[in-house]
Amino acid sequence: MAGIVPERPIDARRSRDRLLWTVVAVSAALFALTLIASRFVAAPPGAPRGAKLLPRVGAPPATPGELLRSLGIGSLVWYACFLSAPIFVWIARRFPLEAGRRVASVVVHLGVIVGIAAVTAILQFKLTYGDTTLAPPLGAFVKISLITGVLPFITVALAAHALDARSRAQERSLETERVRSQLAESRLEALTAQLQPHFLFNTLQGISTLITRDPVAADKMLTSLSELLREVLRRGERREIELNEELRVLESYLDISRARFGDRLSIAVHADDSTRRALVPFFILQPLVENAIHHGISSHAGAGTVEIGARRDGDRLVLTVTDDGPGLVTTDAQRGIGLANTKARLAELYGSRHRLELGRPDRGGFQVLVSIPFRERAATGDA
């Protein structure tokens, strides 16, 4: 449906896979930048050979190198955080912090954090002290490292959950929009399916009354009906067409009405040239004209005129169907299938951006006014 139904939502799985690979790419880039920056960081004088990989907090830095060292640039914990980020994103997707799974998620995360922190501490110990006699006991070193070194990994895990929660929220929003779009489409199809049998019933009833009285007029009505049905089927599931096309479809219905009412019915169409390419809901004019003919012509013995108008009012397209009949003293038109169906279709297509007004012109009769956003097919890029 041109310009109305939202575009097809992005596939949720593809969106979340993109998130994971984005984290992988960012982590790899940060890993490389840290590796490059660490080349400018010298270990403190007299420190063990692997001290460059230890987090350091010293006196206020006097040089850029000391500043980088005080920030921990090049420490093994930095590398471990970057490398483990995709793992935490994967875990956040498999064990989200949702009701009913929160305890399991916390247990899994703590287990992974402790495991990664322990492996990092052991590697840090081996790289820093090696086989030197200055090395502290491995158990004590790992214990202290676990106490002081799990915070960065907890931060990475929380960041992964924040990213995953945002991804899930976007996924739910897209799914809600998709369901809403499908519901609107289904309701439009139901409304269209309701309208066409109603129109067919009224037309066939008119043909049946002419078969014995005026076979020629009945045959002409059947020919016009077949042409109209062919136009309806040819347009398939299109919900909007150009006003020019809508008027051509309407002409087949008007031929049916002229054959039925003869000289009693006069039709006048006034459509500004600027409105001819404007998009309108398919089959929007037929029920309005049918309503005008039913209440303005068939309800009394005299002749009558139905006027169909289309004009542009700024960024709005205004359609009017007016008859010079006796008007309506009740709300039957509001309860009829034609107008009720039209109102529901406009609400589904345009929401609050449409107006449908019923009124009595100063010269008498009855008028239906429809105001919708003015859009042309060329502006929407539709085929």
Same domain assignment for residues 20 and 85: yes
Same domain assignment for residues 256 and 115: no
At residue 260, the pLDDT reads 80
At residue 59, the pLDDT reads 54
In a domain, residue 308? The reply is yes
At residue 4, the pLDDT reads 37
In a domain, residue 163? The reply is yes
The alpha-helical segments, DSSP class H, found in the chain are: 12-38, 64-70, 76-94, 102-129, 138-210, 215-234, 243-261, 285-296, 332-335, 337-350, 377-380
370 touches 319 (CB < 8 A): yes
In a domain, residue 194? The reply is no
In a domain, residue 276? The reply is yes
- Angle at 306 (CA atoms; ends 369, 376), nearest 5 degrees: 45
Burial class from Cβ neighbours inside 10 Å (0-12, 13-18, 19+) for residue 53 reads buried
* Residue 359, helix vs strand vs coil: strand
Residue after which a domain boundary falls, among 150, 176, 202 = 176
Instruction: Give φ, ψ of 28 to 5 degrees.
Output: -65, -40
In a domain, residue 373? The reply is yes
Distance of alpha carbon 184 from alpha carbon 189, whole angstroms: 9
159 alpha-carbon distance from chain centroid: 27
Residue after which a domain boundary falls, among 176, 198, 226 = 176
Same domain assignment for residues 220 and 292: yes
Q: Extract the residue ranges of the chain whose pLDDT is less than 50.
A: 1-10, 57-58, 188, 190-191, 194-195, 329-335, 379-383
In a domain, residue 304? The reply is yes
| Predicted model pTM | 0.50
319 touches 246 (CB < 8 A): no
Total domain count, the chain: 2
Distance of alpha carbon 54 from alpha carbon 76, whole angstroms: 7
345 touches 188 (CB < 8 A): yes
Structure tokens belonging to residue 10? 């992005």
Q: What is the pLDDT of residues 68-98, one digit of tens each?
A: 665 556 678 878 888 888 888 888 888 887 7
Q: Residue 372 is part of a domain; what is its CATH number?
A: 3.30.565.10
Residue after which a domain boundary falls, among 155, 176, 197 = 176
The percent of residues in the chain predicted with pLDDT above 90, rounded, is 13
Distance of alpha carbon 346 from alpha carbon 323, whole angstroms: 22
In a domain, residue 29? The reply is yes
Same domain assignment for residues 167 and 248: no
Same domain assignment for residues 124 and 66: yes
Same domain assignment for residues 76 and 225: no
Q: What is the pLDDT of residues 331-346, one digit of tens each?
A: 444 445 678 878 888 8
Instruction: Give φ, ψ of 55 to 5 degrees.
Output: -60, 140
Burial class from Cβ neighbours inside 10 Å (0-12, 13-18, 19+) for residue 81 reads buried
Same domain assignment for residues 162 and 31: yes
160 touches 88 (CB < 8 A): yes
Structure tokens belonging to residue 124? 């840090």
268 alpha-carbon distance from chain centroid: 41
- Angle at 39 (CA atoms; ends 33, 40), nearest 5 degrees: 105
Range of the domain at 230: 211-380
Same domain assignment for residues 167 and 262: no
For 106, other C-beta atoms within 10 Å of its C-beta total 12
In a domain, residue 193? The reply is no
261 touches 293 (CB < 8 A): yes
Same domain assignment for residues 150 and 226: no
Same domain assignment for residues 115 and 242: no
At residue 3, the pLDDT reads 37
At residue 382, the pLDDT reads 44
Same domain assignment for residues 162 and 264: no
At residue 43, the pLDDT reads 60
Q: What is the pLDDT of residues 200-214, one digit of tens each?
A: 777 777 778 778 777
Nearest to 234 by CA among 222, 248, 223: 248
Same domain assignment for residues 160 and 254: no
